[in-house]
Amino acid sequence: MNKKSVKDVEVRGKRVLVRVDFNVPLDEQGQITDDTRIRASLPTIQYLVQQGARIILASHLGRPKGKVNPKYSLAPVVKRLSELLGQDVQLAGDCIGDIVVQAVSKLQDGQVLLLENVRFHAEEEKNDPTFARNLATLAELFVNDAFGTAHRAHASTEGVTHYIPAFAGLLMQKEVEFMGNALERPERPFVAIIGGAKVSDKIGVIENLLDKVNALIIGGGMANTFLKAQGFNVGKSLLEEEKIELAKQLIEKAKAKGVELELPIDVVVAKAFAADAPHRTVSVAEIQEDEMVLDIGSASAEKFEALISTARTVIWNGPMGVFEMDAFAKGTERIAQAVASCGGITIVGGGDSVAAVEKMGVADRMTHISTGGGASLEFLEGKVLPGVAALQDK
């Protein structure tokens, strides 16, 4: 992390624009169903409050497509943030314009103002320079603490950095340091576990990791494409026919680099994609034409657990099966427990894996849980994240 953080600059009495990621899930009544992202931003906000800064928070919520939509208002967030901070947070009626300028002018040291959803303006996602300048004029300093949006060059993540000095928030710093260290200076053995539905989503990640890891475990729907590449029949399982050749190449690349590439040896299959579908565990050589793979089997889980138990660094992105259905959650549960029990540094990224460790109650036993889905994937691919690149270097 060669970027300056919020702790490298004097903030007392200064107006500080902080990009946070308050894109939280809401139910039909507009109630927050998971406040993880709000809680993740607290260290930066609390630090700025204690230092006597005047804090202006900016975030998006959902996909309002550049139009004002009450359904995507940050009003529920203000309520929850006020409770967590133990002080009143004001909500501005917009994110730019006279009413916002007035609200900012009334801020006292240590007070917090949340701007309304930046994506109510189409210019946000277009990284429009005028819109970015309007945001920037509200403050003297910019702090980006929204790792989850760092892979997007938007006005509130990258655009504002052209007008005011920009620094990393404490969450941003933690994300980049943990994942950066794992990729650049891992304690070995280094094991990566990649799951989820599609190979196409994670080709770049797999290719980058093959240059860095000692072992790579592949599970979830994407494993079917690799099994097919090895000549196994996968029935009517999720499969990317056009990626079979690529899977063969990746298997060869792993061999050439001396990386252990581990695939399931047994799987849980059913004839229907349903929570109550009758299911059985079979070896990967026994999958029938009318069956689909919905989880890894117990022998695979055991093999993966043994490998994880020896690791000093683990990165996990993507579940082993359809973990939302209890009948097909065992593989993901066992991997979650194995990662939690491993004595090394453990990093979990990607929405589904994070949901899995939360569901299984082992989240607090992980070294680091990434708040960024797409951002953590692009980081693992070795891509430059615009929201990080734009911050001031040390």
Mean pLDDT of 247-274: 97
User: What is the helix, strand, coil percentage profile of the chain, to 5?
Assistant: 40, 15, 40
Cβ–Cβ < 8 Å for 66, 119: yes
pLDDT cut 70: percent of the chain above it: 99
Cα 226 from Cα 228, distance rounded (Å): 5
pLDDT of residue 172: 96
**pLDDT surpassing 80 at residue 280:** yes
List Cα–Cα distances, 156 to 8, 31, 129, in angstroms: 21, 25, 10
Q: Is the peptide bond before 189 cis (omega within 30 degrees of 0)?
A: yes
> What are the structure tokens assigned to 206, written together?
């797999």
Domains and CATH numbers, the chain: 6-173 (3.40.50.1260), 186-380 (3.40.50.1260)
174 in a labelled binding site: no
312 in a labelled binding site: no
351 in a labelled binding site: yes
pLDDT in tens, 160-189: 999 999 999 999 999 999 889 998 999 999
Q: Map tokens 């070795």 to a residue.
A: 382
Q: What are the start-end ranges of the E strands in the chain? A: 15-19, 54-58, 89-91, 112-114, 141-144, 166-168, 190-194, 215-218, 260-262, 266-270, 279-283, 292-296, 313-317, 345-349, 368-369
> What are the structure tokens assigned to 350, written together?
């990607």
62 in a labelled binding site: yes
List Cα–Cα distances, 75 to 70, 182, 347, 387, in angstroms: 9, 37, 32, 25
152 in a labelled binding site: yes
**Model confidence band, residue 1 (pLDDT cutoffs 50, 70, 90):** low
Instruction: List, as one string, the DSSP characters of 85-145.
Output: HTS-EEE-SSSSSHHHHHHHHTPPTT-EEE---GGGSHHHHTT-HHHHHHHHTT-SEEEE-
pLDDT cut 90: percent of the chain above it: 88
Cβ–Cβ < 8 Å for 161, 176: no
Cβ–Cβ < 8 Å for 367, 347: yes
**pLDDT surpassing 70 at residue 27:** yes
List Cα–Cα distances, 173 to 86, 153, 170, 367, 394, in angstroms: 25, 18, 5, 15, 13
The amino acid present at 205, given as its one-letter code, is V
Q: Map tokens 């490998």 to a residue.
A: 307
Cα 60 from Cα 124, distance rounded (Å): 9
370 in a labelled binding site: no
pLDDT in tens, 43-94: 999 999 999 999 999 999 999 999 999 999 999 999 999 999 999 999 999 9
169 in a labelled binding site: no
CB neighbourhood size of 306 (10 A)? 11
Pairing of strands 260-262, 215-218: parallel
pLDDT of residue 242: 94
Pairing of strands 345-349, 313-317: parallel
Find the range with the poorest average confidence among 105-114, 193-202, 252-261, 350-359.
350-359
Cβ–Cβ < 8 Å for 136, 163: yes
63 in a labelled binding site: yes
Pairing of strands 15-19, 54-58: parallel
**Residues taking part in catalysis:** 37, 198, 351, 374
Cβ–Cβ < 8 Å for 161, 391: yes
Predicted TM-score (pTM) above 0.85: yes
